[in-house]
Structure 1
Amino acid sequence: MNRVGAHCYCSVIVPGPWWNPLTYELQSPLPRGSRLKIPVGRGTRFGIADSFFPTPPEKGTFNIRQGKHLSDNSPLLTEKTLDLIKWTGKTFLCGSGEVLKVSVPSSILSFPGPLVDFDSLDGENQQTSGQYEENFLYECKTFSRWKKIVELLEKGDSFIALFPEQALAASFFALLPPAMQKSALLWPSTGGKKLQDAWIAARKGSVPGIVGGPGAVFAPLPGVRSIIVDEESSGAYRTYRHPFLNMRTVAARKALLEKASLTLSGRLPSSRVYLRGKPRCTELPPRENVKLVDLKSSFSSEFQGIAGSLPLSAALFSETARVLSMGKVALWLLDRKGYAGEVACEECGKPILCSSCGRVMAWEEQRRRLRCSSCGKVSPLPETCPSCRGVLLSGKRPGLEALLPVARATAPDEKTVLIWDGTKPCGKKAARGLTKDLSGGGIVLGTRSALTVCDLADVGFAAWVDADSEVRSVAFQAKFTAFSMMWESLWRGNSGGGRTVLLQSRRPGFGWQKGMVLGWDHFWNEELRERKELDLPPFSFLLEIKSPSLGLKESIMAQLEKIGLYPMDPGEPPLVFWVTTPSPASVQNVLAPFFSIGNSSTGFPEITVWID
């Protein structure tokens, strides 16, 4: 507990984008982590007391205002939780205030009345201090791996078990012994009262363990002794909204602060974990289950209104027919939503871009509209080109909707054929309906999100219609993203490793595709050799910086150049640039002035820290 004399000054963390804490005067001492009601601008906000000092900071152009201690009998946050929030804000270059917003429900932070006296409960629920340790558990078969995790949790220590998807967390929770299910808590995936009640229950220590999605990492469970991160290499642990965090990394730091054991598990490790722990791939698929087909020997399917074709192989149709005859499901996977991946002008050649983020927009023919492939914004299909007013618009790169008639012609009339592109959420009712519809087999056309079908139906065949397209992205981790999806398609679900996976490629069996046969350690050895030569993560940190204006973008780039860094400006989107750095700490002092509260009128940059 951090107390000073009767009159003091306090540094307060306030939800918001600025990095600098705000200073307030207090009339009486209070513990670190307590809630405060403070004036900000013309209004008031709620914040968390961080540090204290007996004298005011050096005189500046501001007046120190009075903060009000609420009537709580104990701090809302423990010292360790507050330290985790501050570390996360510094590591991911978003500020403690943004992390506070996602780690504490707003309904609790701004609760008008006194909260529960947590101090009286902490002593009852505090367990013997442990020791930080790292464990690795990589097995391809999900339920075999989960059973080992359950055995680990049955030792009785308090735990937090994280999964990349809420549906996976619920499935794991159902595997727990009945007594453990009764006492543990399945962390809610949405906000509102459910999250508020779960947060309070965890803070009180009234539950021995928590199972949940990535957001459960901030569950304030006191004295946690074991933290498990399953499928730790999944991109779902990276938040898709600001602040951009990697929850796996936050979980590792939490285990270190709590002196708890950290178990990292999954079908394959992330690059940083592989480099650090050197786990080995002990399970390979049967060679006959991996089919690599040369697209040059396939026939091309052309589609009305779309420039370009989509090669389809004989193996695609023969394997589909085989599994349909067995009453199983065939997945046709193409990470390209809509009827065409983009729409471009035949006269000027420019694609139609999203007005919000500047990315290409997919053509949804069934709904006669465009949808951004990045942010999801929907807009009508224009009659003329926005750039040159040309009237000849055509699709490029056939998508899932274009494949639908082909799939329907392939399947018998009684078999279900549908598209799963991730644009609609799949709740429990929808999942049950899908399982019923596919009980006799069928064809599902989908993006990478359609791999969820492997948990709901008997998938006997998964075909990557254009495996090469998955690595055309300029993102440094494109090959890993492609490999991990295709490796997942081999093992996910209840097939027991008996599923056949087909990769249609222009260079079948070359490069990263060798890992599908030789294992993920072979893939990582080759991939890390290339990344080291290029000084890419995990050998450095890659920052993606989005500025609110071109002028501010140029100012930030100039300041980074002064400390010897070399920003990379791709030009599109216009407000985004990239820079590699040895660590986030090396750029904090340079970037901090751009996140001062005084810049609220001009806006703040948004930074994504890519660590692996």
Structure 2
Amino acid sequence: MADYFEEGELVSVLTTQLDRMLDYKAPAGGCWTGAFVDVPLGPRKILGVVWGRGRGDFDINKCRPINRVLDVAPMRDELREFLIRVGSYTLTPMNAMLRLGTRAPGLGDAPSMRKVYRMGGAIPNKLTDARSRVIDVLRDYGGASFTLKELAEMAGCGTSVVKGLVKLGAVSEEDAPRDTAYPPLDPDFGGKDLSEDQATAAAELREGVRSQRYGCTLLKGVTGSGKTEVYLEAVAECLRQGRQALVLLPEIALTSEFITRVEARFGMKPAEWHSGVTMTERRRCWKMVGQGDAQLVVGARSALFLPYRDLGLIVVDEEHDTSYKQDDGVLYNARDMAVLRASLNDAQIILASATPSLESWANADLGKYKRITLTSRFGESVMPEMNAIDMRNEQVPSGRWISNSLRTAITERIEKGEQSLVFLNRRGYAPLTICRACGHQIACDHCDARMVEHRFLKRLMCHQCGETKPMPDTCPSCQAEGKLNPVGPGVERMAEEVTELFPEARVAVLSSDLFGSARALKEKIEEIASGEADIIIGTQLVAKGHNFPLLTLVGVIDADLGLQGSDLRAAERTFQLMRQVAGRAGRAAKAGTALLQTYQPEHHVIRAILSGDEEQFWEAEAAERRAAGVPPYGRMAGIVISGPELAEIFDLGNHLARNAEPLRRIGAQVFGPAPAPIARIRGRNRVRLLVKAEKAAPLQQALTQWTSHLKLPNNVRLAIDIDPQSFY
């Protein structure tokens, strides 16, 4: 039960600005632990949370009072404990953790009515560009409401354009409460008939939810086995228990299709929380979650930090996906933190994947997690046949990448009226542009990275910082004309080759950079699913959750691509990606085939992919990691020092390496400093150190002692990444 503080009592407040508690006097009417408050800090008013009783170790008369208590549900004990534990684990300042828990605008606004704007019923035949942009925004967000300013800003026009559309009836202007409860979901609305395996799995998950105790289950099922329908049964049970559920998805692109499935299952749409929703909807979701008026949230990783009133179930879909790792700001892995949040809330957590992470596999193997396995596809569909195309035996002309064997297989599918997927995990047209006269490679001006040609956009793009520039006609180095040459293929170049090889085929390209909105991507996916393409060319976007009934062939252009480099997870990620993309084939009645073009058919990862013996692969991978003492059988931390002057940050790195006694005391090893694999990003040089320790070592404590004495120059930053997922 929250402590209550009467007017004038000292309370300790955590704010979003400082990494320490500040004491304030309780306001008129008092306040309580967990209350969200508006407090003065110098001349500013900032957001804070009452954390407990004040210290009282100074003159109370000098203490300023809290301005007001906000009219929102207080932060519950389990969320405050979650923020403390995540901050302690990731070595993140508490003010940054609080910002994660309050990422919604206007939390202090009083309840009131406001004008909102949504799609109207009469769309004129002719629209100006500005008016068309307004209509496009409203369509993109599927009927969501906007404030006048928000809609105008998102459409890139003035407010008068929106008001003009209101007069025409194309946009509806309505009075609405600022924040309203989400419509109730019906757990018995649209349940489907399950197979025997699915029903058994669903019953076990429902039993866990009914226990109202913590438990973690790895739900492993081959692609097409119906994992989603199974875990939605657990969501239904959570709703029956009167508790809240959270489903985390790795990509915003998957949200629209998943929301449709949820609506079909429960009769209404859930709350959404991700960067694609409007700020108005974001505030509504945050407030309704705290009040218990949002039963189900579907969201991205940051949805973990919402102020749930009674969280009973978390589902992490595609739990192996690297998108769950936040690589800037607060560096955390949402999968791991979801397990922590569930334990603090006495909630069940389901980690769902066809190709689990080695961390989750190892925890299930040790008995820390329960494991439920769906071994067969739902209905008539069966797993695709997997074969390798040995590129050493193929006569592929220079500048071409599709082998004769794959070309023949695609031709056969076209003749049968079936679809083929050509998979290459490279966006753009070509990963490198080189001058044939002087050898110059066009690089980003701000990063240690080569710019990728995006021919559809007629621009070069840096995939590190997002910088773009027009494709030059002459070499920037030697000024030679007509000598710039693309090297290597991206999906756009594959589309060019496919169009030449199959001139009568209908070709669709699926890549995240080619769609300006979620609606446009959804429409393209629906077109493909309905059969309006013969050949699909795609990046890893197509490997996640999409169902194309006519797709019977998957051709992987470069199965060896992910095996390059020194990433300790290279084998695992290649295995997961190849198995996931191969699983797109044969998901309906017709059998599917996956063909992997490779120059290394004897590689143990390629052999494991083809054999389908996943347990053997995980056991072998686990044995290698265990012998090396690396995650999940050891601990690692990455330290990246960045700044404008390379010598300065190297000196700092060497100073750390020489004074690593706190780490040596726990038996940890320090590697580096060395230039980071990507040594410059956004104009800042980067130096990296790597720390390796035993599983039980108190790593965070040692890292804190190691770095606490440092006084960084204003232009130098030091970031510590516990359990790094990438090593760039």
User: Normalised by the size of structure 1, how large is the TM-score?
Assistant: 0.84
Match of 1:61 in 2: none
Report the Cα distance in structure 1 between the residues aligned to 2:601 and 2:376, rounded to whole angstroms: 18
Q: Give the counterpart of 2:97 among 93, 96, 99.
A: 99
Q: Give the counterpart of 2:522 among 428, 431, 437.
A: 431
Deviations 1:544-591 (A, max 9, x none): 525245435643563364233414344241314141344444313434
Match of 1:300 in 2: 396
Flag the 1:288–1:197 CA change in 2: closer, same or farther, 3 A: closer
Give the conservation status (yes or no) of the 8 Å contact 1:547–1:553: no
Asked if 1:332 corresponds to 2:456, the answer is: no
Q: Which amino acid aligns with 1:301?
A: P
Q: Give the counterpart of 2:341 among 236, 240, 254.
A: 254
Q: Which amino acid aligns with 2:652?
A: S
Report the Cα distance in structure 1 between the residues aligned to 2:615 and 2:709, rounded to whole angstroms: 43
Match of 1:135 in 2: 217
Flag the 1:183–1:332 CA change in 2: closer, same or farther, 3 A: closer
Match of 1:543 in 2: 638
Give the conservation status (yes or no) of the 8 Å contact 1:146–1:172: no
Asked if 1:23 corresponds to 2:105, the answer is: no
Match of 2:507 in 1: 417
Residue 264 of structure 1 aligns to a residue in which SS?
strand
Give the conservation status (yes or no) of the 8 Å contact 1:129–1:223: no
Asked if 1:566 corresponds to 2:670, the answer is: yes
Match of 2:718 in 1: 605
Report the Cα distance in structure 1 between the residues aligned to 2:269 and 2:415, rounded to whole angstroms: 45
Match of 2:583 in 1: 491
Match of 1:10 in 2: 12
Deviations 1:23-49 (A, max 9, x none): 344356642322333455664422223
Give the conservation status (yes or no) of the 8 Å contact 2:263–2:269: no
Flag the 1:314–1:73 CA change in 2: closer, same or farther, 3 A: closer
Flag the 1:179–1:445 CA change in 2: closer, same or farther, 3 A: closer
Q: Which amino acid aligns with 2:395?
A: F
TM-superposed deviation, 1:486: 1.0
Q: How does 1:336-415 map to 2 (within 5 A)?
A: 336-344=426-434, 351-382=441-472, 393-413=484-504, 415=505
Give the conservation status (yes or no) of the 8 Å contact 1:350–1:387: yes
Deviations 1:202-256 (A, max 9, x none): 1101233333333332232212222221211111212354333321122111101
Identity percentage over the alignment?
18
Q: Which amino acid aligns with 2:542?
A: A
Flag the 1:301–1:91 CA change in 2: closer, same or farther, 3 A: farther
Residue 376 of structure 1 aligns to a residue in which SS?
coil
Q: Structure 2: where are the runs of 5+ without partners?
A: 113-180, 182-208, 366-370, 680-684, 694-698
Flag the 1:283–1:510 CA change in 2: closer, same or farther, 3 A: farther
Report the Cα distance in structure 2 between the residues aligned to 1:443 and 1:276, rounded to whole angstroms: 40
Match of 1:71 in 2: 69
Deviates more, 1:270-279 or 1:23-32: 23-32
Report the Cα distance in structure 2 between the residues aligned to 1:568 and 1:498, rounded to whole angstroms: 51
Deviates more, 1:194-203 or 1:97-106: 97-106
Match of 1:468 in 2: 560
TM-superposed deviation, 1:480: 1.9
Report the Cα distance in structure 1 between the residues aligned to 2:264 and 2:404, rounded to whole angstroms: 49
Report the Cα distance in structure 2 between the residues aligned to 1:518 and 1:179, rounded to whole angstroms: 32
Give the conservation status (yes or no) of the 8 Å contact 1:295–1:311: no
Give the conservation status (yes or no) of the 8 Å contact 2:430–2:493: yes
Q: Which amino acid aligns with 1:510?
A: H
Asked if 1:575 corresponds to 2:691, the answer is: no
Match of 1:118 in 2: none
Report the Cα distance in structure 2 between the residues aligned to 1:471 and 1:193, rounded to whole angstroms: 44
Give the conservation status (yes or no) of the 8 Å contact 1:420–1:446: yes
Report the Cα distance in structure 2 between the residues aligned to 1:578 and 1:464, rounded to whole angstroms: 35
Match of 1:86 in 2: 84
Match of 2:537 in 1: 445
Match of 1:513 in 2: 606
Flag the 1:576–1:40 CA change in 2: closer, same or farther, 3 A: farther
Report the Cα distance in structure 1 between the residues aligned to 2:499 and 2:713, rounded to whole angstroms: 54
Flag the 1:386–1:545 CA change in 2: closer, same or farther, 3 A: farther
Give the conservation status (yes or no) of the 8 Å contact 1:454–1:493: no
TM-superposed deviation, 1:257: 0.6
Report the Cα distance in structure 1 between the residues aligned to 2:210 and 2:334, rounded to whole angstroms: 26
Deviations 1:288-332 (A, max 9, x none): 7111111111223334xxxxxx54322211121122223232221
User: Normalised by the size of structure 2, how large is the TM-score?
Assistant: 0.71
Residue 107 of structure 1 aligns to a residue in which SS?
coil
Q: Give the counterpart of 1:153 among 235, 251, 258.
A: 235
Residue 582 of structure 2 aligns to a residue in which SS?
helix
Deviations 1:49-76 (A, max 9, x none): 3344333389xxxxx8736242336763
Give the conservation status (yes or no) of the 8 Å contact 2:422–2:556: yes
Deviates more, 1:274-283 or 1:510-519: 274-283
Flag the 1:128–1:221 CA change in 2: closer, same or farther, 3 A: farther
Give the conservation status (yes or no) of the 8 Å contact 1:12–1:48: yes
Give the conservation status (yes or no) of the 8 Å contact 1:297–1:313: no
Give the conservation status (yes or no) of the 8 Å contact 1:217–1:251: yes
Residue 512 of structure 2 aligns to a residue in which SS?
coil
Deviations 1:105-151 (A, max 9, x none): 34144x24489xxxxx9xxxxx9993211222111134621222122
Report the Cα distance in structure 2 between the residues aligned to 1:343 and 1:8, rounded to whole angstroms: 64
Report the Cα distance in structure 2 between the residues aligned to 1:236 and 1:209, rounded to whole angstroms: 21
Deviates more, 1:190-199 or 1:83-92: 83-92
Match of 2:620 in 1: 526
Q: Structure 1: where are the runs of 5+ without partners?
A: 59-63, 116-120, 122-126, 304-309
Q: Which amino acid aligns with 2:392?
A: K
Report the Cα distance in structure 2 between the residues aligned to 1:191 and 1:558, rounded to whole angstroms: 46
Flag the 1:434–1:73 CA change in 2: closer, same or farther, 3 A: closer
Give the conservation status (yes or no) of the 8 Å contact 1:7–1:54: no
Report the Cα distance in structure 2 between the residues aligned to 1:128 and 1:147, rounded to whole angstroms: 18
Give the conservation status (yes or no) of the 8 Å contact 2:551–2:584: no
Report the Cα distance in structure 2 between the residues aligned to 1:293 and 1:359, rounded to whole angstroms: 31
Report the Cα distance in structure 2 between the residues aligned to 1:488 and 1:320, rounded to whole angstroms: 20
Deviates more, 1:172-181 or 1:415-424: 172-181
Deviates more, 1:137-146 or 1:579-588: 579-588
Q: Give the counterpart of 1:587 among 703, 709, 712.
A: 703
Q: How does 1:161-310 map to 2 (within 5 A)?
A: 161-176=247-262, 180-182=266-268, 184-187=270-273, 189-239=276-326, 241-278=328-365, 279=371, 283=375, 289-303=385-399, 310=400
Residue 99 of structure 2 aligns to a residue in which SS?
helix
TM-superposed deviation, 1:540: 1.4
Deviations 1:1-40 (A, max 9, x none): 245784425252315xx7x324344356642322333455
Give the conservation status (yes or no) of the 8 Å contact 2:424–2:539: yes
